[in-house]
């Protein structure tokens, strides 16, 4: 398999790996290494002492790693919250954090870490002295240690900044500032020690993002007891306040171990929200028995949408009834920070990215939604496609699949792979469409798949080639003219994220009654407005909104535009 040095390496991160990152909510693999001062750093022992551990996995040659290192966010974290009595730690420290630097490049030399190497390759180039003014421990792994660590921790790029909670769960913190890093200590990490008796604690849900008609999630809980095993528990799954399933569990779960509990299939009608609880006899801390809400969605006939349905990605705004694969490798984007996507109209555009370039393997899904298509005269799915191969042997695949009648199986109604998928010349750098000529318009007849619950999804299967982009999705009974339906109505939402208020900027082709509805993640309407205008603004007061995501539905005559609003406090 080829090794790619990402074009993003000069600005954001570096990679020569074919790994994905360790998923959030994974149990941390233990390690025991000597740091440069000869001290032993045992991860599990540090966690057992009540510390939350932040790990900077970098490479001495990596410019983004060096930039983040010199931003000194981890130094500040160490100074204000590190172990009491350690060099550089404030006398008033909260004493609840440990910071470790791990050199993750297997070919690294000590001279690279100390900044004395003068080479020009990964094996001998250095950005500088990584130990200078750094008080927290630095671990310079040897080749065998580095290879084992990178494989166990699934290091996909440098720098990788992990937070490891005292319950041993791992979360990727990213290149965050000090306050953001420290916020992990209280959320998602527990601030309390393992129970001296019995404590069953909900674990992060990592199961399926969506189901069709019948849901059968696999849920998890952890034994957060210090010494006692858990032998029985009860799992309950809810839709809102409605009990959907009760599952008894028996076993012999050791302290800090995690149980995965498959829930038998149950029929569901609501799209969301869904959550679950765990109950054990004698639980000393019931406050951690409840999961977060809206863990997954269910596409059922009772919540099917209507056609026509369109999506041109607007300004990063996704209707609430869309879903992505949990790995997060499929997302709408303008491209990199310096290069815009050029759309089918040759203007700067937003499109759905299937990131084959950065992922050696994997299947990435985007569910368009579920629709009642019964009685359709000529059902068609249309979209614009731009794709490039990395080389002539690249075999990345994109397909469209349909599910009808609550089937357990999906039918592939269109697929293209390798050269047949490509619409642009071969590119060995990250492919971003740069001209209208690189787009192709696709039309798929779905007349054979009319149903009260027609679910449509796009699926990309990576062969570590180059990217594919999808834009201007249209599901309807009519054929669009040309490559792109031109939208004369302009609706923008700013600022986004919002704090005190957000403003809808509206420019229509004629005076129309505009109805605005804001819906929270629980499906509750939290704001409405109704105004007749052609050009103007509508303010959405968000001062009393809770932090989270909201759907903003804007109806102008027969047209409906759904935007997504983030509120941060």
Q: How far from 146 is each of 35, 321, 433, CA to CA, in Å?
A: 13, 43, 37
Q: How many CB atoms lie within 10 A of CB 314?
A: 18
Residue 79: what are its φ and ψ, rounded to 5°? -65, -45
Helices (H), 299-367: none
Residues belonging to the chain? 569
pLDDT, residue 331, reads 56
440-to-298, 312, 337, 523 alpha-carbon distances in Å: 32, 15, 25, 37
Query: Coil, helix or strand for 6?
Result: coil
What is the pLDDT at residue 371? 92
The confidence band for 14, taking pLDDT boundaries of 50, 70 and 90, is: low
Domains, in order of start, for the chain: 7-183 (3.40.30.10), 200-298 (2.60.40.10), 304-476 (2.60.120.200), 490-567 (2.60.40.3080)
SS3 for 259?
A: strand
Using alpha carbons, list the distances in angstroms from residue 371 to 239, 450, 539: 21, 9, 31
> What are the tens digits of pLDDT across the range 558-569?
666 767 777 877
Residue with the bigger pLDDT between 548 and 448: it is 448
Region class of 499: left (phi > 0), else alpha (psi between -120 and 50), else beta: alpha
Does position 484 have pLDDT exceeding 90, yes or no? Answer: no
Instruction: Please give the helix or strand (H or E) that residue 44 lies within, else none.
Output: helix 43-48
Output the pLDDT for position 420: 93
CB 401 within 8 A of CB 408: no
Q: What is the dihedral of CA 172, 174, 180, 181, to 10 degrees?
A: 60
The per-residue pLDDT for 519 is 83
Question: Can you tell me the distance from the alpha carbon of 473 to that of 381, in angstroms, rounded to the nearest whole number?
Answer: 7
> So what's the pLDDT on residue 313?
73
What confidence category does residue 323 fall into, taking pLDDT thresholds of 50, 70 and 90?
low
pLDDT of residue 523 exceeding 90: no
Compute and round to an integer the Cα radius of gyration of the chain.
26
CA distance 472 to 2: 33
Q: Using the predicted structure, report yes or no on whether residue 51 has a pLDDT greater than 90.
A: yes
| Whether residue 319 has pLDDT greater than 90 | no
Cα 169 to Cα 220: distance, rounded to the nearest angstrom: 12
CA distance 419 to 512: 47
Cis peptide leading into residue 308 (ω within 30°): yes
As given in the structure block, the two tokens for residue 139 are 């671990």
* Averaged pLDDT, 508-522: 82
What does the pLDDT read at residue 332? 56
Per the prediction, the chain carries an average pLDDT of 87
What CA–CA distance (Å, rounded) separates 424 from 467? Answer: 11
Q: How far apart are CA 383 and CA 141, in angstroms?
A: 49
Q: What is the pLDDT of residues 256-314, one digit of tens each?
A: 999 999 999 999 999 989 999 999 999 999 999 999 988 999 999 999 988 888 877 76
> Count H helices, E strands: the chain?
6, 36
For residue range 173-219, what is the model confidence (pLDDT) as tens digits? Answer: 999 999 999 999 999 999 999 999 999 999 999 888 899 999 999 99
Confidence at residue 15, expressed as pLDDT on a 0 to 100 scale: 56
Average pLDDT over residues 403-420: 93
The answer on pLDDT for 413 being more than 80 is yes
Question: 157 pLDDT exceeds 50?
Answer: yes
Residue with tokens 């299947």: 363
| Residue 246 confidence (pLDDT) above 80 | yes
d(CA 446, CA 40): 62
């Amino acid at each position: 398999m080829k090794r790619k040095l990402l074009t993003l390496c000069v600005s954001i991160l570096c990679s020569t790996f074919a790994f994905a990152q360790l998923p959030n909510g994974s149990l941390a693999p233990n390690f025991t290494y000597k740091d440069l001062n000869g001290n032993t750093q045992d991860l599990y022992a540090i966690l057992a002492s009540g510390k939350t551990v932040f790990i900077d996995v970098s490479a001495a040659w990596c410019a983004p790693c060096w930039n983040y290192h010199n931003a000194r966010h981890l130094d500040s974290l160490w100074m204000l919250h590190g172990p009491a009595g350690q060099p550089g730690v404030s006398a008033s420290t909260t004493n609840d954090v440990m910071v470790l630097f791990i050199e993750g490049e297997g070919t690294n030399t000590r001279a690279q870490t100390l900044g004395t190497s003068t080479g020009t390759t990964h094996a001998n180039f250095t950005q500088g002295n990584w130990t200078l003014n750094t008080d927290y421990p630095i671990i310079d792994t040897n080749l065998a240690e580095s290879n084992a660590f990178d494989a166990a921790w699934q290091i996909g790029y440098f720098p990788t900044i992990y937070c490891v909670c005292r319950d041993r769960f791992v979360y990727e913190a990213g290149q965050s500032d000090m306050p953001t890093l420290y916020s992990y200590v209280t959320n998602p990490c527990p601030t309390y020690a393992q129970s001296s008796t019995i404590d069953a604690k909900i674990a992060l849900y990592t199961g399926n993002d969506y189901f069709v008609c019948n849901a059968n999630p696999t849920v998890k809980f952890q034994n957060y007891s210090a010494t006692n095993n858990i032998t029985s528990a009860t799992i309950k799954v809810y839709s809102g306040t409605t009990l959907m399933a009760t599952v008894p569990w028996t076993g012999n779960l050791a302290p800090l171990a995690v149980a995965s509990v498959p829930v038998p299939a149950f029929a569901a009608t609501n799209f969301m929200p869904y959550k679950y609880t765990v109950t054990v006899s004698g639980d000393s801390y019931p406050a951690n028995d409840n999961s977060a809400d809206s863990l997954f969605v269910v596409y059922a006939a009772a919540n099917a949408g209507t056609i026509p349905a369109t999506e041109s990605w607007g300004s990063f705004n996704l209707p609430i009834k869309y879903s992505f694969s949990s790995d997060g490798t499929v997302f709408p984007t303008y491209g990199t920070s310096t290069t815009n996507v050029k759309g089918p109209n040759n203007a700067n555009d937003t499109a759905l990215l299937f990131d084959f370039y950065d992922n050696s393997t994997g299947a990435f899904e985007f569910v368009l939604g579920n629709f009642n298509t019964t009685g359709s005269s000529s059902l068609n799915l249309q979209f614009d496609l731009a794709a490039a191969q990395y080389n002539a042997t690249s075999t990345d695949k994109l397909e469209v699949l349909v599910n009808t009648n609550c089937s357990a199986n999906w039918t592939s109604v269109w697929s293209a792979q390798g050269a047949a998928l490509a619409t642009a010349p071969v590119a060995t750098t990250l492919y971003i469409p740069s001209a209208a000529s690189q787009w192709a318009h696709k039309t798929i007849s779905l007349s054979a798949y009319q149903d009260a619950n027609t679910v449509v999804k796009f699926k990309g299967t990576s062969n570590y080639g180059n990217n594919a982009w999808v834009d201007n999705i249209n599901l309807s009974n009519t054929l669009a003219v040309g490559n792109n339906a031109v939208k004369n109505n302009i609706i923008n939402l700013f600022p986004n994220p919002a704090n005190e208020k957000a403003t809808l900027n509206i420019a229509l082709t004629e005076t129309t009654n505009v109805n605005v509805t804001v819906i929270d993640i629980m499906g509750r309407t939290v704001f409405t407005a109704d105004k007749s205008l052609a050009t103007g603004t509508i303010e959405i007061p968000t001062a009393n909104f809770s932090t989270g995501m909201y759907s903003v539905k804007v109806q102008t005559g027969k047209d409906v535009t759904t935007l997504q609003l983030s509120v941060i406090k």
